[in-house]
Chain A
Amino acid sequence: DTAVSQTPKYLVTQMGNDKSIKCEQNLGHDTMYWYKQDSKKFLKIMFSYNNKELIINETVPNRFSPKSPDKAHLNLHINSLELGDSAVYFCASSQVLVAGGNTGELFFGEGSRLTVL
C-alpha cells in the first residue's frame, strides 16, 4: 500500500500544452509539498500546503497552480508548458514539526518525470 502516490509517472508533451500531476497520501499527514528536481539532481521546494492552506510558495511562475481539495491530496497544474519545465516533480508529505513531538520526516512519492518537447 503506497504511502505517497503520484500520477502519472511519465509525461511527455509539447510546448504550450497544459498538464496536471496528481498526488495522494494515505499517511494521515497534514502537510504536503511539491518539489522540482532538475537534470543536475538539484531539489527545490515549490509549494507547501498545510491542511489545504497554502503556506509556502517559492518564486514559482504563476503558470504553476497547486490545488489541495483535502489534506490527503495535492495536485499540480501547469499551464503553457515551456522547455525549462522539463524535470522530475516530487510530491511529499509530513506531519508538521512539533517541538519534541516528531522529526518532520518527509515521505516522498516516486516522482513524475515531465518532458516538454
Chain B
Amino acid sequence: GEDVEQSLFLSVREGDSSVINCTYTDSSSTYLYWYKQEPGAGLQLLTYIFSNMDMKQDQRLTVLLNKKDKHLSLRIADTQTGDSAIYFCAAGGYQKVTFGTGTKLQVIP
C-alpha cells in the first residue's frame, strides 16, 4: 500500500518562511494534498496539486511536486502565529487517500 512520510516537527519565527516536506511511495497517486488540523478540530484542505503539475501557488502557499523523487513540499511565506497547526500531506487515487504522519508547525512570535 501507499506510504506517506513527513518530519514530525518544525519550528519557525513569525515572518519567516516555513517549508514542510513529504515523500510518498505510490507513483500512481492522482492528487496530492495538504491538509491543516488546528487543535481540537478536524482536518481542512489547504491546497492540492494534480500529479501532472510541478508547482502550484496560492497566495502565501507554494506547493512543489517532484514526481521522479516522489517528493512534495509546502512552503508558507511570511508565516504567522495563526499558521501554528499540524499539516498533513496526503496522496490520493480513486476512492482512497492515504495521509502522512503530520508535521506540527510551531510559530514563535
Q: Which residues of A contact B (CB under 8 A)?
A: 4, 31, 35, 40-45, 48, 50, 55-56, 90, 92, 94, 96-97, 99, 103-106, 108-111
Given contacts A42-B101, A105-B33, A111 and B48 within 8 Å (CB-CB): no
Q: Which residues of B contact A (CB under 8 A)?
A: 30-31, 33, 35, 37, 40-45, 48, 86, 88, 90, 92-99, 101-102, 104
Q: Are B93 and A97 in contact (CB under 8 A)?
A: yes
Give the chain A neighbours of B94 by CB distance below 8 A: 96-97, 104
Expressed in whole angstroms, the minimum distance between the Cβ of B60 and any Cβ of chain A is 20
Residue from the set A35, A43, A45, A94 with the largest chain B CB neighbour count within 10 Å: A43
Q: Are B95 and A48 in contact (CB under 8 A)?
A: yes
| B86 partner, pick from A41, A45, A108, beta carbons under 8 A | A41
Give the chain A neighbours of B42 by CB distance below 8 A: 4, 90, 92, 108-111
Give the chain A neighbours of B86 by CB distance below 8 A: 41
Given contacts A41-B102, A97-B30, A97-B92, A104 and B97 within 8 Å (CB-CB): yes
Give the chain A neighbours of B45 by CB distance below 8 A: 105-106
Q: Are B99 and A43 in contact (CB under 8 A)?
A: yes
Q: Are B31 and A43 in contact (CB under 8 A)?
A: no
A24 CA to B18 CA in the complex, in Å? 36
Give the chain A neighbours of B101 by CB distance below 8 A: 40-42
